[in-house]
Amino acid sequence: MVTEAKRAYKVIGTRPLRPDGIDKVTGRALYGADIHIPGALHARMKRSPHAHAVIKRIDASRALAMDGVKAVVTAVDLAPGGDLSKLADPAQNILAGHKALYRGQAVAAVAAINDQVAQEAVKLIDIEYEVLPHVLGPREGMQSDAPILHEALRTRGPGAVDGPTNIVAINQAAFGDVDKAFADCDIVVDDEFSTKMVHQGYIEPQAATATWAPDGQLTIWTTTQGSFPARESCAQLLNHPISKIKVIPTEIGGGFGGKISVYLEPVVALLSRKTGKPVTMRMDRSDVFEGTGPTPGTSIKARLGATKDGRIRALYADMAYENGAFPGSASITGTMVAAAAYDIEHVKVIGYDVVVNKPRTQDYRAPSAPAAAFAIEQLIDELALKLEMDPLQLRLLNAAKEGTRGPMGMPYKRIGHEECLRAALDSEHYRSPLGGPNRGRGVASGFWFNVGLRSSVNVSLQPDGTVNLIEGNTDIGGTRASLAMQLAETLGIPYEDVKPTVVDTDSVGLSDVTAGSRTTFGTGMAVHEAGKNLIKEMTARLAPLWQTTPEEIGFDDGAFRTKDGAKSGAFKEIAAQLAGRGVALTVSGSLNAGFLAGGGFAHAVVDVEVDPDTGKVTILRYTAIQDAGTAVHPSYVEGQMQGGAVQGVGWALNEEYYYDESGRMANASFLDYRLPTSLDVPMIDTIIVEVPNPLHPFGVRGVGEPGIVPPLAAIANAVTHATGVRQTQLPMSPRRILETTRGIV
């Protein structure tokens, strides 16, 4: 649906085939583990079997004595001057120094003539540990008697107490006077919520290959969401000049935030330097679960107050986010987004970042927001129940809109939250009866930032009037198409006349990560700029041919025209005239699209049925609603919405890092850590709302992330309505449902 008068686009809004599609349906596309460099050694990681332990001694002599073993590296190889006390925090997560802080943390790596030998050699590395008590869980980590992970860590932020602690930072978002406002409210609801650590669950495990040439030129092939950030990380970790590092991004088999940080890249680089040979390393699935960065588990206490006519007046929340073993910042955005979907005058949200003996957490699609929404959107549901109001109408009454104070304190520009809510209210799904016993319907809203950041593209005009588009953002879900479409739109040419290519870090200007819902938005802006530059350059070259000045030539609707209308020519025609005259026509677009990119809202309507005997929750129907600003390629917008929804289903119903008493993740396989399958979900209906983003030339909003924000809460609300018991803890596994509803359902 289009909610505002939409500009007429020729290419944007259509559904062309993606340029990389053929390679991906025929098995030709090369992903991280598909890079086979002749003569490459194979490497494997030795990982800590303990959740928290001092590393007393590493003895690799038995491994090195094995036939076919070429080199072993440890943190000593990463530490400046080989001095482990100088090993910085990011390096400790590549190879552990004095301490192992979580089970699965990499401690040493072996390179050998093949993978089999490397696996055998890993077993022969002898490591002596002194096992320490460990702590799991955000509130547990905050206790004053909890085992301390980092002796030197001191809390940052208001209310910090001096002394050793696991609390990294206390963040706060405060507006108005919550205490007074709660006292004035007619109705106050509160509860405590918790969510578990979950993994992004990309299907392609990390894999990297490196060659370190004798002149110090380091080439790295890797599956990454950001080849430039990977280059910068490697430069810092290896203390090696950026100019000597080339990162070649392979196709990427999913990321969702989990393939921003480097893990294997610096290690294969070190091993290649040591051996003088190419070195390749691939994670297996348990490595991915135990040794990469999942998203934090949380504990959230929240309170919401409203007047009897349904105006939400005050929000208080106390949110603890796990950071895993090293300091992170999940609670910063957590505190910001807690109230972001609503116009609430009095807000106080306190966020704690807490280190615990689990893998260092990383971003996962709208990081921090789904857990915050799980709490707040359930309290809103509770308010609606108590006020006997329709939960969507209650949200609409309080919805953030243009001018409302946003998550960062400044007012929103034009946003589409109200439009999403109206679309939900008007949807066939919401108006249809639920039917049947043990069923419930839940709704929830979600907000996530978009960011812009830095992007660079090169565009060159070909003699046949087609254009090549060179870009630096790895294509994780169709961005070659969405960028080519924006260039075609800018130039007024068919989509098929744009040939996009993703290149390495030597071949295009700096481009930030493919993350933060930014590529179609931010790199799209760079593409638009490059398109404008190409038109300008073509106009300049055309002027003498038309015996006029560039100022007299305009470009509109895919054609150059003199202002007097005497001369005109379509893009392709002019391109052919200019071909062969003068030097090649190559332009670039390079910009910083900033941090504020407009913001995105998503909504979910979900119907569930709860089996009273087994506790199993079945998703009967799911409608995802989202403001895309302008949907560049609607099929891929729908795909983002559907993918986010189903990841949310997994998070809500099944997924969790399940720890045993020793601090071991007991379910580090796809058998036991159960992602949703095709059998677990119905078709996911989508409603694309289009409220153009004033910050983008085509009105685009990033669409990758908001869709995962509402489902946790929407499903919990649905299960609550089905069972009559408020669901405050994830996952809502059959066991959990039976425990909470026994005797009630």
Partner 1 sequence: MVTVRLPASLQPLAGGAASVESDGATLRALIDDLERRFPDLGERLLEAGAIRGDVMIAVGADETRELDAPLPDGAEVHILPAIAGG
Partner 2 sequence: MSGRTHVTTTINGERIDFLCEPRQSLLEVLRDELDMTGSKEGCNNGNCGACNVIMDGSLVNACCVLGVEADGAAITTIEGVANGEQLHPLQKTFLEDAALQCGICTPGFIVAAKALLDREPDADEARIRHWLAGNLCRCTGYDKIVHAVLDAAALMRQVPAKA
User: Any idea what the Cα angle at residue 27 is, between residues 23 and 29, rounded to 5°?
Assistant: 50
Report the SS3 class of residue 167: strand
* Burial status of residue 543 (CB atoms within 10 A of its CB: 0-12, 13-18, 19 or more): middle
- Among 509, 490, 500, residue whose Cα is nearest residue 469: 500
Q: Is position 536 an interface residue for partner 2 (rule: CB under 8 A)?
A: no
Q: Is position 363 an interface residue for partner 1 (rule: CB under 8 A)?
A: yes
User: Any idea what the Cα angle at residue 186 is, between residues 183 and 188, rounded to 5°?
Assistant: 75
Number of residues that make up the chain? 745
* Subset of 194-223 contacting partner 2 (CB under 8 A): 200-205
CA–CA distance, 11 with 4 (Å, rounded to integer):
19
Q: Is position 162 an interface residue for partner 1 (rule: CB under 8 A)?
A: no
Q: Which of 182, 221, 228, 256 binds partner 2 (CB under 8 A)?
A: 256
CA–CA distance, 247 with 224 (Å, rounded to integer):
10
Report the SS3 class of residue 648: helix
Q: Which runs of E-coded beta strand occur in 228-345?
A: 245-249, 279-282, 298-306, 312-324
The residue among 159 and 582 lying less far from partner 1, judged by its C-beta, is 159
The answer to whether 702 and 637 have CB atoms below 8 angstroms apart is no
Q: Is position 242 an interface residue for partner 1 (rule: CB under 8 A)?
A: no
Q: Which runs of E-coded beta strand occur in 178-233?
A: 187-195, 207-212, 218-222
The answer to whether 416 and 627 have CB atoms below 8 angstroms apart is yes
Rg (CA), the chain: 27
Stretch binding partner 1 (CB under 8 A), from 15-23, 87-95, 362-370, 625-633: 362-370
Helix (H) or strand (E) holding 430: helix 428-431
The residue among 207 and 691 lying less far from partner 2, judged by its C-beta, is 207
Q: Is position 532 an interface residue for partner 2 (rule: CB under 8 A)?
A: no
The residue among 201 and 492 lying less far from partner 2, judged by its C-beta, is 201
The residue among 195 and 333 lying less far from partner 1, judged by its C-beta, is 333
Interface mask toward partner 1 for 672-711; x: CB under 8 A: --------------------------------xx------
DSSP state of 243: G
Q: Is position 156 an interface residue for partner 1 (rule: CB under 8 A)?
A: yes
The residue among 395 and 633 lying less far from partner 2, judged by its C-beta, is 633
CB of 644 to partner 2, least distance (A): 8
Longest dimension (CA), the chain: 88
CB of 193 to partner 1, least distance (A): 21
Q: Which of 97, 249, 305, 478 binds partner 2 (CB under 8 A)?
A: 478
CB of 143 to partner 1, least distance (A): 22
47 Rama sector, left if φ>0, alpha if ψ -120 to 50, beta otherwise: beta
The residue among 96 and 695 lying less far from partner 1, judged by its C-beta, is 695
Q: Is position 400 an interface residue for partner 1 (rule: CB under 8 A)?
A: no
Q: Which of 140, 284, 390, 504 binds partner 2 (CB under 8 A)?
A: 284
CA–CA distance, 438 with 745 (Å, rounded to integer):
8
CB of 618 to partner 2, least distance (A): 13
| Site of interaction with partner 1 (CB under 8 A) | 156-158, 169-174, 200, 255-258, 329, 332-333, 335-336, 362-367, 408-413, 448-451, 453, 512-513, 515-518, 592, 594-596, 704-705
| Site of interaction with partner 2 (CB under 8 A) | 15, 17-18, 20-22, 24-31, 33-34, 36, 116, 200-205, 251-256, 282, 284-285, 476-478, 633, 635-636, 638-640, 642-647, 669-671, 675-679, 681, 683-684
